[in-house]
Structure 1
Amino acid sequence: MRHTIRYWFKRSAFYFGGDQPPVSWKERIRTCMGAFIGLLLVITAAKYLGELSGIDEWLMASLGASALLVFVLPGSPMAQPWAVIAGNTISALIGITTVHIIGESLLAMPIAAATSILGMFILRCLHPPAAAVALIAVLGHIAHYRYAIFPVMIDSILLVIAGALYSNLTGKRYPNKPAK
């Protein structure tokens, strides 16, 4: 046998996270604390706004995935304010519209997700968690367009504000200007 176990381990490490860049513990803790603080602020504010307005839906389920992008990958084009806010909002609108047009969830879910991706391409606001927003609208049979404003758009705005405050206070730039 020509190759050693070490050789095969190195060769297959790529498939088990070997392609991930190394991240210091300081940076891991900084980003996790940011996500915790940011989500705590957004969830608290959204709950208060929901109670104040008498709306039961006050939180979008994909907010955690958006927080990962905003706090862990603030330099990503998919974590920038336009991508987060417009991507989530357009996907909610498309998901709700799909609920109105297509009754069968099995067909509505892939149509809503695919159409929301197309909408994000057109508006130049690709944000991966937003495709889940469209699915959530279909799965939850959400028929009120106000859902796209609150909680989706409002939660997204609050998350971007929290991300900007936290990142800039801890020495990371957010939002980022596009490279020229």
Structure 2
Amino acid sequence: MTSPKHRITERLKRWCFYLGGDQPPVLWGERIRTVLGAFIGLMLVLTIAKFLGELGGIDEWLMASLGASALLVFALPQSPLAQPWAVIAGNTLSALVGISCANLIPFPIWAMAIAASISILGMFMLRCLHPPAAAVALIAVLGHVLHYRYSIFPVMVDSILLVVAGGIYANLTGKNYPNHPK
């Protein structure tokens, strides 16, 4: 028979699990390395993308899911979801799917659901799963993006710049990125 104190302790553990208790502890040095890397990487990508957009006279120079991609690249550089192929191909493919759905499906709710779903299927097929990329498909539909150029700039270009920044930063700070085949 368990004591009331033990039952309370077990219930608290269970509730704490649902409030982030399943997250591994991260040392403060690693937290600072990640946050600083994400800041530097995003500032570089955003600055270059803004410059390229102004140079080309293009209004869309930013993909909104870039912050989520940065989290994976800088906080979890060893994750398969953060590898260059996943980031670049996943985002680009999803933009293409989202734009196609925005062009072909007249009902936004249907277009959004189909765009995200097909982009996930495509990422499975191309072995480039990248969770923020499903948001790219939604963003294309929500933003009524109808030009396929958007998949190249800003989506593919921003993704490449982020991966390059992540690789340089990770290797300068003692992390390996991208993963190397074994």
TM-score by length of 2: 0.96
CA distance, structure 1, for counterparts of residue 167 and residue 119 of structure 2? 26
In structure 1, what is the equivalent of residue 96 of structure 2? Answer: 93
- Residue number among 98, 107, 120 corresponding to 1:104 in the alignment: 107
CA distance, structure 2, for counterparts of residue 68 and residue 116 of structure 1? 20
Percent identical = 73
In structure 1, what is the equivalent of residue 72 of structure 2? Answer: 69
In structure 2, what is the equivalent of residue 126 of structure 1? Answer: 129
Shift of 1:65: 0.1
In structure 1, what is the equivalent of residue 163 of structure 2? Answer: 160
- Residue number among 26, 31, 47 corresponding to 1:44 in the alignment: 47
Secondary structure at 1:83 match in 2: helix
Uncovered stretches (5+) of structure 1, i.e. residues with no partner = none
- Residue number among 58, 62, 79 corresponding to 2:61 in the alignment: 58
CA distance, structure 1, for counterparts of residue 96 and residue 4 of structure 2? 55
Shift of 1:9: 1.2
Shift of 1:106: 1.0
Tell me the C-alpha RMSD between the 2 structures: 1.0
Uncovered stretches (5+) of structure 2, i.e. residues with no partner = none
Shift of 1:26: 0.4
Larger deviation, residues 147-156 vs 4-13: 4-13
In structure 2, what is the equivalent of residue 145 of structure 1? Answer: 148
How many matched pairs? 179
CA distance, structure 2, for counterparts of residue 6 and residue 51 of structure 1? 58
